[in-house]
Amino acid sequence: MYSDAELLAAIGSGDQLNNAIFFIYQQYSQTVQSFILANSGTAPDAEDIFQETVVTFIDLVRKGKFRGEASVKTFLTAIARNLWLNELKKRARSGVREKAFETDREGIEMDVSQYIANREVKQEFLVVLGKLGEPCKKLLTLFYYENLSMKDIVHHLPYENEQVVRNKKYKCLQALTELVKQNPVIAKMVNQQTD
């Protein structure tokens, strides 16, 4: 069992992340998924939205964008509501569904729209990483996500020495950046920001 503060610390520390995610599923999946089911969602919808909620939450905590301003439960529920509304809008722009959803909201809701902006871009992130290829994905993940040094990476991957890892990492990042540039959804967002 984690308190909210302990949960945030566990996510931040990294080495406890699996336990923290498991705890989130134990504690909050039922509440959040019931909400999706009660608002026109199917069981797979509920699972997918909850998964995306957890990914968004972990990403925000790791980047220091959520520091416990609200309770974890409130925040997760607000993210899920927002993602689900977003999804409903995306699906055929169904006025009936949205209306049903909007009228079913209970009490005061937290505004988390700022936190889940660029949802489509996040989904494209998975697409470009899929195109990158497993060896590069693994190498970049070890360096940028797990924060391993070049020396440590030599022990995890079949490269001869640190210099080989360094060169490979440079090429992989170069390839990924190119894929990101070529992705129309991501490029559109960057163009809008820089124009």
* Site residues (vs another protein, CB under 8 A): 17-19, 21-22, 25-26, 29-31, 33-34, 37, 43, 46-47, 51, 54-55, 58-59, 62, 121-122, 125-126, 128-129, 137, 140-141, 144-146, 156-158, 160, 170, 173-174, 176-177, 179-181, 186, 190, 193-194
Nearer to another protein, 96 or 160 (CB): 160
Nearer to another protein, 144 or 163 (CB): 144
CB within 8 Å of 187: residues ≥ 6 apart = 181
Return the structure tokens found at 18: 């699996």
Least distance (Å) between residue 97 CB and another protein: 20
CB within 8 Å of 67: residues ≥ 6 apart = 8
Least distance (Å) between residue 18 CB and another protein: 6
Least distance (Å) between residue 28 CB and another protein: 11
The tally of CA atoms less than 13 A away on the side-chain side of residue 45 is 18
Asked if residues 177 and 134 have their Cβ atoms less than 8 Å apart, the reply is: no
Return the structure tokens found at 101: 């959803």
Least distance (Å) between residue 139 CB and another protein: 10
The per-type count for the chain, helices as H runs and strands as E runs, is 10, 0
